[in-house]
């Protein structure tokens, strides 16, 4: 009996016109498959917003893709595939395999009600795969990441100096999140609900982004472009899929206690009993005069982190400065925190620590933090070089997102910023 | 009409919002400019001083390119000038970007442009010229 062959291929387009790019990325992805694709993952940088729009982009994809192919994806800061590293363009992965059942799911209003969005998405997946019996179960999801809010009279800003406004701002951001769907993305809340509903599935996750300005992002679900949503591809398959998260960050001895939070547990109000920002700057060896538009260039390499209940390190960027308070991306679960050290060497070593490739490996898919891309710059070609060494002529695709993570029964749930998450088939 | 393929690479780079100007240059000379209307208007006010600074940087590039100098950058007022050196030459791909740009992302496309230009430079002469209708 002839063993069915797993086929996967990566496509790409560097065209500027949205429709032409959509066509090209689909053509180049499926031309090397001998059978119609069973699923299609699609990632694009934000540039098509101004060069035809994403609906035109998707229309171009569907000019080529067979009708009914399950498609999900979203906007990303950049991507790596066997051809190179890019922060402009589109890439896709198409796969075909007889011993696999696929379903896609969608949930909306992720910032307003992340748990409900998780349930909507999970329900679609459960319905789609209810008659599937393959042993190994895997999900890849992409959801809308955080958006910098635009405050009345202040415009879009990440530094609010007024202490009066900062005292009001946690409630203001709540309002913005729930009504306007701007602000924090609540990825952690959605992820925790999602894996509760689908505990048998391993998963890699990413937050769709633009060019890390966090001004807008889009998700793709079949023929539709959406915002503030989650879309997921789920599969039951007879090929094992290994999922793992590494970071490459190291803990320093600059520890501190988060002594006061707001009700959302994302606004840090005081550290070591003192107002949060001045104390944070002391710990980071910064001066208060450094709090200007260049601050992110300085604190970018100084993430903070804490251990989750099951001992996983959660690293986060410092997001928005509000008077004496500051926002982090994820709900604080542990008041004992530390400053983390980020280095290019650490980021690259985390790739070697993560990847295991065997003679049975069919493909690799990776979600990775856009902050790593910002940190590495053109040295991201060192990442591509390592991936090519591991995968040889097998296809792989890495996309850069904002907020990411993974789940498996072996490793549990891991999420944060600065992570590198792999799903290796076979 | 035949287009300079290196100029086409620069045209692509210049389409990125944060690339205000780009060129292939060496000391005292701009070898290739983008094929369109030139640089974005924001650089006009600072171009003279950047041009002079570039010449000083190219003195260093000339001395150390053979020793493996890959990139240099300088910050001048609210701008940064990025130099991506062509190995073992005194030439570089030069771009002017705002100081607050997300430089990491731009660096990837600068690297891609450098690699494309190097491929073009290494092509036999008759293959270099791109025929257009």
Summarised one tens digit per residue, pLDDT across range A374-385 is 999 999 999 999
Is B47 inside any structural domain? yes
Residue B131 has pLDDT above 50, yes or no: no
Tokens of A248: 């490459």
Asked if the structure places residue B103 within a domain, the reply is yes
Place of tokens 């209940």: A309
Average pLDDT over residues A181-190: 90
Asked if B106 has any chain A CB less than 8 Å from its own CB, the reply is yes
Asked if B108 reaches chain A (Cβ–Cβ under 8 Å), the answer is yes
Least confident of A137-151, A171-185, A399-413: A171-185
> C-alpha distances in angstroms, A175 versus A158, A182, A264, B30?
17, 9, 12, 53
pLDDT of residue B130: 52
What pLDDT was estimated at residue B1? 45
Please report the pLDDT score of residue B61 as a whole number.
96
pLDDT attached to residue B132: 41
pLDDT (0 to 100) of residue A374: 92
Q: Determine the Cα–Cα distance for residues B110 and B112; give it in Å rounded to an integer.
A: 5
- The answer to whether residue B19 sits within a structural domain is yes
Confidence of residue B102 (pLDDT cuts 50, 70, 90): confident
Inside any domain, residue B10: yes
Are B112 and A78 in contact (CB < 8 Å)? no
Q: Residue B111: its chain A contacts at CB < 8 A?
A: 85, 378, 381
Whole-angstrom distance, CA of residue A30 vs CA of residue A10: 8
Band of residue A388 on the pLDDT scale cut at 50, 70, 90: very high
- Of the candidates B99, B100, B109, the beta carbon closest to that of A87 is on B109
Q: What is the pLDDT of residues A46-83, one digit of tens each?
A: 999 999 999 999 999 999 999 999 999 999 999 999 99
Which of B84, B85, B102 should we substitute to test contact with A (largest number of A Cβ atoms within 10 Å)?
B102
Q: How confident is the model over A364-389, as a mean pLDDT?
A: 96
Q: Are A221 and A229 in contact (CB under 8 A)?
A: yes
* Residue A163 in this model has a pLDDT that exceeds 60: yes
pLDDT tens-digit readout, A118-128: 999 999 999 99
- Report the CATH number at residue B80: 3.30.450.30
Whether the pLDDT of residue A156 is over 70: the answer is no
Q: How confident is the model at residue A142 (pLDDT cuts 50, 70, 90)?
A: very high
Q: What is the ipTM of this complex?
A: 0.92
Q: Which of A88, A294, A377 sits opposite B103 (nearest CB)?
A: A377
Q: What pLDDT does A189 receive?
A: 96
Min Cα–Cα distance to chain B from A292, Å: 11
pLDDT at B109: 98
- Residue-range definition of the domain harbouring residue B45: 2-121
The alpha carbon of residue A78 is apart from the nearest alpha carbon of chain B, in Å, by 8
Q: Does A84 touch chain B (CB under 8 A)?
A: yes
Q: How many CB atoms lie within 10 A of CB A366?
A: 24
d(CA B118, CA A309): 52
pLDDT for A261-312, tens place per residue?
Answer: 998 999 999 999 999 999 999 999 999 888 887 787 778 778 999 999 888 9
- Rounded mean pLDDT of A23-35? 96
Q: What is the pLDDT of residues A74-108, one digit of tens each?
A: 999 999 999 999 999 999 999 999 999 999 999 99
Say whether A235 sits in a helix, a strand or coil. strand
Instruction: Find the residue in B nearest to A382 (Cα).
Output: B108
**Residue ranges of B 2-41 with Cβ closer than 8 A to chain A:** 12, 15-16
Using 50, 70 and 90 to split pLDDT, how confident is the model at A151? low
Does a structural domain hold residue B127?
Answer: no
Residue of A nearest to B15 (CA): A16
Residue showing tokens 């053979």: B66
Share of chain A above pLDDT 90, in %: 81
Say if the Cβ atoms of B105 and A378 lie within 8 Å: no
Number of domains in chain B: 1
A-to-B residue pairs, Cβ atoms closer than 8 angstroms: 47
For B71-100, how does the pLDDT look when each residue is reduced to its tens digit (9 = 90+)? 999 999 999 999 999 999 999 999 999 998
Q: State yes or no: pLDDT of A233 exceeds 70.
A: yes
Measured CA to CA, the distance from residue A194 to residue A118 in angstroms comes to 5
Of B15, B99, B108, the CB nearest to A378: B108
Order the strands of the A229-237 sheet from edge to edge: A100-108, A229-237, A136-144, A202-208, A404-408, A412-416
B104 occurs within a structural domain: yes
Average pLDDT over residues A183-205: 95
pLDDT in tens, A318-350: 878 888 899 899 999 999 999 999 899 999 999
Q: What is the least distance, in Å, from the CA of B112 to any CA of chain A?
A: 8
Here the tokens at position A73 are 């994806």
Chain A nearest-CA residue for B17: A47
Tokens standing for residue B52: 């002079």
Other Cβ atoms closer than 10 A to B36? 11
Q: Is A232 on the interface with B (CB under 8 A)?
A: no
Tell me what pLDDT residue B58 has.
96
Buried b (16+ CB within 10 A) or exposed e, A308-336: beeebbbbbbbbbbbbbbbbbbbebeeee
Give the nearest partner residue to B15 out of A16, A78, A87, using CB atoms: A16
Residue A228 near residue A316 (C-beta atoms within 8 A)? no
Give the start-end residues of each E strand in A109-212.
Answer: 136-144, 150-151, 155-156, 159-160, 202-208
Report the range of poorest mean pLDDT among A12-26, A398-412, B32-46.
B32-46
Residue B20 lies in a domain: yes
Answer yes or no: is pLDDT of A31 > 90.
yes
Identify the pLDDT of residue A161: 78
Judged by DSSP in three states, B72 sits in strand
| Residue A150 pLDDT greater than 70, yes or no | no
Residue B133 lies in a domain: no
- State the Cα–Cα distance between residues B19 and B81, nearest whole angstrom: 10
What is residue A1's predicted lDDT score, i.e. its pLDDT? Answer: 61
pLDDT of A234:
98
């Amino acid at each position: 009996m002839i063993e069915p062959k797993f086929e996967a291929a990566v496509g790409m387009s560097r065209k500027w016109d949205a429709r032409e790019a959509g066509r090209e990325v689909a053509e180049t992805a499926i031309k090397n498959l001998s059978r119609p694709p069973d699923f299609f993952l699609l990632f694009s940088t934000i540039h098509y917003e101004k060069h035809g729009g994403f609906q035109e982009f998707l229309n171009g994809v569907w000019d080529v893709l067979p009708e009914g192919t399950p498609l999900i994806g979203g906007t990303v800061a950049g991507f790596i595939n066997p051809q190179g590293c890019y922060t402009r363009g589109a890439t896709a992965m198409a796969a075909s395999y007889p011993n696999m059942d696929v379903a896609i799911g969608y949930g909306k209003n992720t910032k307003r009600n992340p748990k409900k969005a998780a349930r909507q998405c999970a329900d679609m997946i459960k319905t789609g795969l209810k008659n599937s019996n393959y042993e190994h179960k895997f999900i890849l999801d992409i959801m809308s990441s955080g958006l910098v809010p635009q405050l009345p009279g202040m415009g879009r800003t990440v530094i609010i100096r007024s202490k009066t406004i900062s005292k009001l701002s946690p409630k203001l951001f709540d309002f913005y999140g729930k009504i306007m769907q701007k602000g924090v993305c609540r990825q952690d809340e959605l992820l925790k609900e999602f894996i509760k509903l689908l505990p048998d599935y391993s998963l890699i996750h990413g937050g769709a982004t633009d060019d890390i300005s966090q001004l807008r992002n889009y998700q793709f679900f079949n023929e539709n472009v959406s915002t503030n949503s989650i879309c997921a591809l789920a599969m039951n398959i007879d090929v094992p899929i290994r999922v793992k998260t590494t970071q490459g960050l190291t803990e320093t001895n600059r520890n501190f206690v988060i002594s006061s939070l707001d009700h959302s547990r994302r606004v840090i109000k005081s550290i070591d009993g003192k107002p949060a920002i001045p104390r944070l700057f002391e710990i980071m060896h910064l001066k208060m005069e450094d709090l200007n538009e260049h601050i992110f260039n300085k604190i970018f390499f100084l993430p903070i982190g804490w251990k989750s209940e099951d001992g996983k390190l959660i690293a986060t960027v410092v997001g928005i400065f509000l008077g004496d308070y500051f926002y982090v991306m994820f709900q604080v679960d542990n008041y004992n925190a530390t400053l983390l050290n980020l280095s290019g060497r650490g980021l690259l070593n985390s790739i070697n620590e993560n990847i295991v490739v065997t003679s049975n490996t069919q493909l690799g898919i990776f979600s990775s933090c856009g902050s790593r891309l910002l940190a590495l710059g053109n040295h991201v070609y060192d990442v591509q070089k390592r991936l090519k060494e591991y995968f040889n002529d097998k296809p792989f695709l890495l996309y850069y997102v904002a907020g990411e993570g993974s789940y498996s029964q072996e490793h549990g749930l891991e999420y944060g910023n600065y992570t590198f998450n792999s799903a290796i088939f076979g | 009409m035949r287009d300079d393929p290196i100029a086409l690479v620069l045209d692509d780079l210049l389409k990125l919002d944060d690339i205000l100007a780009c060129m292939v240059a060496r000391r005292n000379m701009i070898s290739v400019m983008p094929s369109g209307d030139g640089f974005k208007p924001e650089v006009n006010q600072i171009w003279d001083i950047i041009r002079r600074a570039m010449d000083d940087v190219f003195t260093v590039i000339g001395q150390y390119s053979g020793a493996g100098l890959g990139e240099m950058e300088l910050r001048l007022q609210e701008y940064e000038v990025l130099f991506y050196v062509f190995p073992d030459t005194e030439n570089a791909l030069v771009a002017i970007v705002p100081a607050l740009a997300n430089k990491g992302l731009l660096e990837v496309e600068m690297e891609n442009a450098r690699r494309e230009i190097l491929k073009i430079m290494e092509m036999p002469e008759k293959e270099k010229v791109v025929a257009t209708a």
